[in-house]
Structure 1
Amino acid sequence: MDTSEFFAPLRATTDDGAGADGSAAPRTGVAETEPAEDGKSAAKITANAVDNANADATAGKQDVAKPERTPVWIDLLSPTSDEIHDIEQRFGIEVPTREEMQEIELSSRLYDEDGALFMTVSVLTRATTDAPQTAAVTFILVKKTLITLRYADPVPFKTFIRRVKKTPSLANSAETVMFGLLEQIVDRLADLMEQTATDLENLSNQVFANPEGPGSDQDHRETLRQIGRTGNLSGKAKDSLLNLHRLGLFLSTQTRLKKDAKARLKVISRDIVSITEHANFIANKVTFLLDATLGMISLEQNNIIKIFSVAAAAFLPPTLIASIYGMNFEVMPELGWEFGYPVAIGLMILSAVLPLWYFKRKGWL
């Protein structure tokens, strides 16, 4: 559980370090990232709040109280009930519960409550593992502060926090932070779709490779597993893109957004549409490769059954001959014949070879 607060950098300072209003200029602290015990990296900002610089230690000077600055972004990662209660009291809002964040109704995910915008989207996590997942993330835009509530640590959040540390101007306002996060999420989805398309191309080469070649996968088990993982990833990516598209439509109706913010939102929405089309192509490619792989498996099974059928037909005449001469009846002309045994063996061999030759000529073998 980590609560991180980000403040907008000061716009102007004087040569002696004082702010434009004559007060001491605050400094932005250093953000630290510490790995959690469960393997997840929790972006833990330990000193990102503004540090009130010590006034000049001059005798007789009185410390001047400075007004508390409002953070532009508060990031709640797996918060406790006390932390949520503190945020509710501080901003006069009702933070949705974890169960409410999982609801799929549009009215439960995107709504305006007393001037505060509540927007919940599904963000793709653990995309590079065999079990990709989506996690609900809630954006709360209240006054001049953006509050993000999440119970997972997706890569876009880690990346954006590192970018804010290097470039504090990315956190000039709550809207800037929100659009920066949305752009980071969309960029991550675009990279995943590009990598998925490359993986599918390699899978396609495996499926249609020469069965006797060095790279062929005769039983197709690994190919089916990779196709299933790719289909699962593309499906969850499409779910995340759908949520982002709905969020974009919701924000486009808000009059509080300025002209430049709406222009930025339009670019994000255009990117979402293009990535969704690419995700649809990947989904169709996954379906095609799955059908092709199952078809290859069926062909191989038919070939195996055909071989057994041919073998059974080829060895049926020798079995018949051996059965006849194994009866040991008294009155059988060949029993007393000197060449009876070699002739019987020859008949069995000939009766097996002739069907095999016939099947080979017909192209059944």
Structure 2
Amino acid sequence: MREAIAGGWGTLAAMIRAHAFRDGLLMEGELLLGDAERLLEDEHVFVWIDVEQPDDEEIDALGSIFGLHPVTIEDAHHLHQRPKVELFEGYAFVVVHPLEMGSKEGDDGLIDQELHAFVSSGYLATLRYGPGPFSLDLVTRRWRAQPELLASEGGGFAVYVLIDEVVDGYLSIIEAFEDRADDLEDDVFSVGAAEDSGIALQERIFLLKREVVRLRRFAAPLRQALDLLQEEPKLAGSPLAPYYRDVTEHVIRVTELADNIRDLLTSLLEVRVSQVANRSNEIMKKLSAWAGIILVPTLIAGIYGMNFEGMPELRWALGYPAALGTMVLSGGVLYVMFKRRGWL
């Protein structure tokens, strides 16, 4: 544990912070964890604790403060979990993955941060893992902008805002992916694309498709998770129903756009592979045509290069110019034939 004193954790380090809201209004100053535990007994107070890069002791301490089920504590110790909501007696365990666009395509195209949350009507504890850029400042700003909802709905409203900010990030990313997919479509069908047999365009399509699939893998489970969260009336009461419907619709939009973009990219990849195959066929046709043109002169030269004494043309005065003329004439005829058929 980063810092412990009798009666609870000491003054919070930069990686740990705790605040309380009384009747929806932020109370002055940060809290000690011992104070937070005491304030949980006040039904007019909502407590928020945020821990970045928590260690095992801190997770266990939170479990003790909030009376969490051992299964929840065990889950919180493990990373790389799929987005989900698990309901327990009096609280819910939530896993989401905030994402942000990176500076380049490929493996680093999406920056992922895993976030675990324990939420009840009177508290929200967030555990953030990874170096992701997701900030809770926007979340807390929205809490403070609607104190009446925070006061009446507590954790249900707080976790809604948290998930909504994550999903809004997904929307921004999927719209950027849609623009990139449109650009790729223009590139695939642009003049000269069919003549380019390089693999750079295929790589761009494949990398974008991989990022779209990755985004969908984080977004799709949230629909079921939100439905499950709304089954807990203490968290998602009727005043919050329109808000949860709205964020659910956003999740559906993200997954539908991801499906559409994935299908488009699959089609573009197939078209691009066909273009490259056709380009290869064109190259092979030209090589075959030139090989055919060279074949006749090579054949004539090979025959008369055998130097048999019984070959009458060897003593013919016009044999050499006749052989050259035959080579040129045959090559010219084949060139014209291949040119008319589009092989050259």
Letter in structure 1 aligned against 2:209 = G
Aligned to 2:18: 5
Q: What is the deviation of 1:96?
A: 3.4
Higher relative contact order (CA 8 A, sep 6+): 2
> Is 2:259 aligned against 1:284?
no
Q: Structure 2: which 5+ runs fail to align?
A: 1-13, 41-45
Question: Which of 87, 96, 119 in structure 2 is aligned with 1:121?
Answer: 96
In 2, Cα distance between equivalents of 1:162 and 1:273: 23
In 2, Cα distance between equivalents of 1:9 and 1:311: 86
In 2, Cα distance between equivalents of 1:300 and 1:123: 43
Question: Which of 36, 46, 52 in structure 2 is aligned with 1:77?
Answer: 52
Aligned to 1:58: none
Aligned to 1:192: 173
When normalised by structure 2's length, the TM-score is 0.80
Aligned to 2:318: 339
On the 8 A contact 2:100/2:173 being kept in 1, the answer is no
In 1, Cα distance between equivalents of 2:226 and 2:23: 30
Aligned to 1:177: 158
Q: Secondary structure of the residue that 1:72 maps to in structure 2?
A: strand
Aligned to 2:28: 27
On the 8 A contact 2:212/2:261 being kept in 1, the answer is yes
> Is 2:226 aligned against 1:248?
yes
In 2, Cα distance between equivalents of 1:217 and 1:251: 54
Aligned to 1:224: 202
On the 8 A contact 1:78/1:152 being kept in 2, the answer is yes
Number of matched pairs: 312
In 2, Cα distance between equivalents of 1:101 and 1:262: 30
Higher share in helix:
2
Letter in structure 2 aligned against 1:178 = V
The structure-2 alpha-carbon separation of the partners of 1:176 and 1:217, relative to structure 1 and needing over 3 Å to count, comes to farther
Aligned to 1:363: 342
In 1, Cα distance between equivalents of 2:142 and 2:123: 21
Q: Which digits, 9 at most, give the CA deviation of each residue in 1:46-87, with x for residues without a partner?
A: xxx169xxxxxxxxxxxxx9x964553222221012211221
> Is 2:302 aligned against 1:323?
yes
Q: What is the deviation of 1:124?
A: 3.5
Q: Which digits, 9 at most, give the CA deviation of each residue in 1:305-333, with x for residues without a partner?
A: 11111111111111111011111122333
Q: Secondary structure of the residue that 2:21 maps to in structure 1?
A: coil
In 1, Cα distance between equivalents of 2:141 and 2:291: 75
Q: Structure 1: which 5+ runs fail to align?
A: 13-24, 29-48, 52-64
Letter in structure 1 aligned against 2:239 = D
The structure-2 alpha-carbon separation of the partners of 1:238 and 1:169, relative to structure 1 and needing over 3 Å to count, comes to same
In 2, Cα distance between equivalents of 1:96 and 1:149: 14
In 1, Cα distance between equivalents of 2:214 and 2:328: 62
On the 8 A contact 2:56/2:77 being kept in 1, the answer is no
Q: Secondary structure of the residue that 1:8 maps to in structure 2?
A: strand
The structure-2 alpha-carbon separation of the partners of 1:319 and 1:170, relative to structure 1 and needing over 3 Å to count, comes to farther
On the 8 A contact 1:139/1:147 being kept in 2, the answer is yes
| CA root-mean-square deviation | 3.1
Residue correspondence of structure 1 range 251-270 to structure 2 within 5 A:
251-256=229-234, 257-270=236-249
In 2, Cα distance between equivalents of 1:6 and 1:307: 75
Q: What is the deviation of 1:296?
A: 0.8
Letter in structure 1 aligned against 2:274 = G
The structure-2 alpha-carbon separation of the partners of 1:319 and 1:313, relative to structure 1 and needing over 3 Å to count, comes to same
On the 8 A contact 1:77/1:151 being kept in 2, the answer is yes
Q: What is the deviation of 1:254?
A: 1.1
Q: Which one is further off, 202-211 or 162-171?
A: 162-171
Q: Secondary structure of the residue that 2:54 maps to in structure 1?
A: coil
The structure-2 alpha-carbon separation of the partners of 1:146 and 1:153, relative to structure 1 and needing over 3 Å to count, comes to farther
The structure-2 alpha-carbon separation of the partners of 1:26 and 1:211, relative to structure 1 and needing over 3 Å to count, comes to closer
Aligned to 1:161: 137
Task: Among all aligned residue pairs of Structure 1 and Structure 2, give the percentage whose two residues are the same amino acid.
Answer: 23
Q: Secondary structure of the residue that 2:74 maps to in structure 1?
A: coil
Q: Secondary structure of the residue that 2:179 maps to in structure 1?
A: helix
When normalised by structure 1's length, the TM-score is 0.76
The structure-2 alpha-carbon separation of the partners of 1:328 and 1:336, relative to structure 1 and needing over 3 Å to count, comes to same
